[in-house]
Amino acid sequence: MPLHRRACAILAAALVLPIASVVQADTAWPGKPIKWVVPFPPGGAMDVIARTLGDQAARELGQPFVIENRPGAGGNIGADYVAKQPADGYTIMITSIGMATNKALYAKLSYDPVKDFTPISLLAVVPNVLVVNTAKSPDRSVKDVVARARREPGKLTYASAGNGTSIHLAGEVFASMAGVNLMHVPYKGSSPAVTDMLGGQVDLMFDSITSARPHIQSGKLRALGVTTSKRSSALPDVPTIAEAGVPGYEVSPWFAVFAPAGTPAGVVDRLNRVLNAAMQQPDIRRKLEGVGAEPIGTTPQELAAHLNKELDRWGALIKARGIRMD
């Protein structure tokens, strides 16, 4: 064989071998359990979504999805852990709107939400809902809240699950767009905030529909508007805040799944297809709807575009409102 032909053959073989190993690795995946990190405590909407989809995905892929809760620092502890794991498809993370807000909220972040992760799919939206105490609040509509806030600037209090949470930011967007001054009262989680709402210690809350709905259904809390751009199937008779008095208002707390940066494309594609197929199953949709989650499902590219858009939006709002976590 002439020298140049032999050199070409060697070069071709060198190029084919790594591609063949990647294909073989992707085809063999998964060969062991997959760790699904939830960066918040058990029991919330995020945890329920991960466990519900993980069970279905495990049946499809033949390997269990092991849920590991790593709560703390607004999701940063879990995100930092996942960012440092091998990019082999055996560690994934469900995350929330905090993936877009924490970069602006924290002066020092140990990971980059874009560079350190591979997007897999946007999973669902769980709306927040503006609620007041039925027995103690005179407000029966969003317009009533705005009018009272203008009459009593800085006196109306709104509870949140803590600084930087979607519940807090929903209130910041509301105050900014309605042109009112509200007093933010942060709690350590949604549960103590709701307790004080029920007791009448605070005036308003933009609570997650997951925890607010039982109290709305019991008549203890009055729902005035959902934060999403469309009405929620969980509370179909409740208008959006935009249609109820603050045009253009929209805060859609979303949940998505990411893997460490560099995870093989074949693994990402397979995970994407399995998770999106799971969300089309009627029994899965019923379970998700039970916590107020509205399934979405996207391509990895659509999730990447969504994250970049949300980073820009929340970064600008957090800077303008002077919100800091450290």
**Residue 163, pLDDT score:** 84
Question: Per residue in 166-187, pLDDT tens?
Answer: 999 999 999 999 999 999 999 8
DSSP letter for each residue of 247-310: TT-----EEEEEEETT--HHHHHHHHHHHHHHTTSHHHHHHHHTTT-EE----HHHHHHHHHHH
Mean pLDDT of 26-38: 90
169 alpha-carbon distance from chain centroid: 13
User: Per-residue confidence at 22, pLDDT binned at 50, 70, 90?
Assistant: very low
User: Per-residue confidence at 26, pLDDT binned at 50, 70, 90?
Assistant: low
The answer to whether the peptide bond before residue 42 is cis (omega within 30 degrees of 0) is no
Whole-number Å distance between alpha carbons of 209 and 301: 28
Yes or no: say if 79 and 95 are a contact pair by the CB < 8 Å rule: yes
Contacts of 184 (CB under 8 A, 6+ apart): 157, 158, 160, 168, 171, 172
Q: Name the amino acid, one letter, at 39.
A: P
User: Per-residue confidence at 11, pLDDT binned at 50, 70, 90?
Assistant: very low
Whole-number Å distance between alpha carbons of 83 and 276: 23
**Residue 19, pLDDT score:** 43
Q: Which domains are delineated in the chain?
A: 30-126+253-321 (3.40.190.150), 128-244 (3.40.190.10)
Sign of CA dihedral 174, 101, 253, 291: negative
The two three-digit tokens of residue 26, written as one number? 């992707």
Identify the DSSP state of 217: H
**Least confident among 45-49, 140-144, 274-278:** 45-49
Question: Per residue in 114-141, pLDDT tens?
Answer: 999 999 999 999 999 999 999 999 999 9
Mean pLDDT of 82-99: 96
Question: Per residue in 230-273, pLDDT tens?
Answer: 999 999 999 999 999 999 999 999 999 999 999 999 999 999 99
Whole-number Å distance between alpha carbons of 21 and 27: 10
Sheet holding 65-69, edge to edge: 65-69, 34-38, 91-96, 254-260, 117-125, 294-295
Q: Name the amino acid, one letter, at 97.
A: I
